[in-house]
Structure 1
Amino acid sequence: MELVGLRGTFIPGADWQEFDLVLDNLTGQGLDGRTFAVGLLTLTIAHGPPLTAANTNIQILVGGTWRDAVDVGAGPGLVAILPLTEITLPPGQSTCRMRT
């Protein structure tokens, strides 16, 4: 898994910033999005409150529609699961468009 084009800083109230999530399917067969999950953990490396679902939006583009990541609220910072149930990853590398 790799994040491509994600800036290192976030400005509250700024416009959406798009980036790519690159996933590698090494199974040799298609993976149905109902059989796996991608979770993101965001930690704040600065003084102040951590990023949470209340002050951060993360979305993934699925079938032409932006879908919100689901905050599962476990641990410090934002812990989010991406809604991938409508995606099938073919063998090899796939790129998913995201924004925050």
Structure 2
Amino acid sequence: MSKQQYRSEMGIIADILGVAMDGGTQGVIISAISRRANLSHYAVLEKCQKLIDAGLVESMKSDRNRLFRVTEKGIRFSQEFQRFQGVMQGLNLRY
């Protein structure tokens, strides 16, 4: 029997972007993303790297921490994705 995911990869990415957007211009640390998005530390690192490669999130160093901050492109993507989610929910479809 295979284990069914309750969130798609897009849903996970949307959650990470949402946490990063809440962090504002200061950014947010990995542990905060991990806790609020309900993901392991390593899963967050993997997804954040994908988001960095896509230009949706940027990484910066602050003292001992690595911070992640959403870019303008990431904000636009998040807004469009929220619109898409609304349409899909209106049609009662899973994405």
**Do both share a fold (TM > 0.5)?**
no
Bigger RCO (CA 8 Å, 6+ sep): 1
Structure with bigger helix share is 2
* TM-score normalised by L of structure 1: 0.30
* TM-score normalised by L of structure 2: 0.31
